[in-house]
Structure formats: structure tokens, C-alpha cells
């Protein structure tokens, strides 16, 4: 998992793409974005209450999709390294610094 240009890049085919890691990511993002405890708890309960992987992914995307790039999701077999290399050249054009995210 890496943050590039303010977006969190997640390799869904690796350990960062498993259900527990995605729920943990949702918790981390909710805390960093100062979600009220009740809202964060409801989000995590919804995600943890599902036995389907797609429901967990959809919960994460519905809440934080604007700041996520999921590599390898829905048969989009994009190599993370190629994306990161192209993002490096794109970042030179980006003049506005994104808000920092910590993991």
C-alpha cells in the first residue's frame, strides 16, 4: 500500500487486498479523517458483518472511493509497478501538495 498524489494505492492481489486488511484500512482512514465514533463504528460493523468479500470492497469504495486506487480489482490486471512509474512522472506536474495520510 502506498500513497501517491493523495490517493491510497492498494494491490488487491497481495496481502493488502485481504478482507482484514481492507477493514483495517477503512478504520485507519476513518480515524485520520476524524469520523465521529458512531459513524466509524457503523461503517466497520457493516463491513465486518458481511461474509462476502465484494461487500467489504464495496463498503470501502462507497466511503473512501474518491481517495483509493485498487489495483487488480474486478479483473483489471494492472501491474502496480507500472502504475507507480507512471504516477512518478505525473507527480512532477502536480503542484498542489495532497493532505498527508499515515499508515
**Confidence label for 34 from pLDDT (cuts 50, 70 and 90):** very high
33 CA to centre of own chain? 13
pLDDT, one tens digit per residue, over 44-92 is: 999 998 888 888 998 899 999 899 988 886 643 333 344 445 555 555 5
Cβ neighbors of 52 (< 8 A, separation 6 or more) are none
Q: In this structure, is the dihedral angle defined by the CA atoms of residues 84, 90, 67 and 78, taken in order, positive or negative? A: negative
| φ, ψ dihedrals at 57, nearest 5° | -60, -45
The pTM (predicted TM-score) of the whole model is: 0.69
Amino acid at each position: 500500500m502506498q500513497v501517491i498524489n493523495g490517493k491510497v494505492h492498494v494491490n488487491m492481489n497481495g496481502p493488502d487486498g485481504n478482507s482484514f486488511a481492507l477493514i483495517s484500512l477503512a478504520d485507519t482512514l476513518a480515524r485520520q479523517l476524524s469520523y465521529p465514533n458512531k459513524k466509524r463504528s457503523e461503517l466497520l460493523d457493516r463491513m465486518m458483518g458481511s461474509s462476502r468479500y465484494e461487500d467489504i470492497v464495496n463498503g470501502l469504495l462507497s466511503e473512501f472511493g474518491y481517495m483509493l486506487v485498487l489495483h487488480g480489482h474486478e479483473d483489471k490486471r494492472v501491474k502496480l509497478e507500472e502504475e507507480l512509474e507512471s504516477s512518478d512522472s505525473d507527480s512532477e506536474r502536480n503542484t498542489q501538495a495532497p493532505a498527508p495520510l499515515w499508515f
